[in-house]
Structure 1
């Protein structure tokens, strides 16, 4: 499961770095070995993810030189964002939906979650806690919420969360989250994540539902002020 989780985080990090402008056209990406070590994914997995990015036109690879952000990457991602914005969701709308949906999945996780699912959640917590930047923390935060959704073992729920993660990648959400995410708030989120994962592991449905709601209300207050 570690490989699967690292792969999801690497995909998210590639997009986040390009969307934010941290990696610009012509910038050289870390080596396959560095990506493998950072995201704890095998070299074959790294190559597969880079191949997907290359197929999308986001990167170019030069034998003996390395991997670079393509000249077209920004325009391609902007086109993707424009397509997604056809169903553009504001941060307030996203939070409204999350507060309705997320507490309700505790029942499915308590019934269907496996030990591997809970190990995956714990790894996300650990990687978020050890993240060296707010951007890296946000990647692992998103991976944790996807791991929680995947633990329902319900295809529809997983697709809903994938859609919510796409909204989280949109500029409005990212900018608001980065502005609001102080070190103190980050630490509070980390503690809330740990408490939630522990409740789910203990099959404490009522406790987990309450912790999810508390966490989401906390996020809404920090993001939107109410």
Structure 2
């Protein structure tokens, strides 16, 4: 089979990876904005602990993160059992679990990017809006949020790229089920373990590299364009 011709199973793995990454970022973005704002603008007891917990997935072995998700969100876990009984939502050994694992692993990158943008905002602009009578939610939506759009865009794309390439936490939490939880990373791993799978592994590796590079380039271009547009206002 030619190097760049994908089989049906490989297409499924690639599309599932895109789906998992998109869902992971979509559901983690609102929480990421809130957490980034808290870490940037508020002093409270436990702030250092919260910051550490947010960034913990970056330094923990991904397998450890996946195992913690399994014992918490698995069918017998306290959170997983509650969600299954009340909402009918199952994470373990489902693509939704892959999205959850990807969201956890990409969350630190998302929060850090947004927080750095918030730290760079001139708070005098927000204070000026407040003195004109705008309540805090309106100030955030009309002043702060537009100013941090470059950071949000960069964080979203970086978290998306991280979610696309996640392997350790995903395979530990939801296994490697073709058509259900087998993403690009786990498909590459599978092909490296079977005789004659080198060509398929190389195809998916090239696709992963291309998607990751495209995400990084898009992040840089989008951040620059948003920054330039905001600077022209």
Same fold, TM-score > 0.5, yes or no: no
TM-score, reference length from structure 1: 0.26
Higher gyration radius (CA): 2
TM-score, reference length from structure 2: 0.25
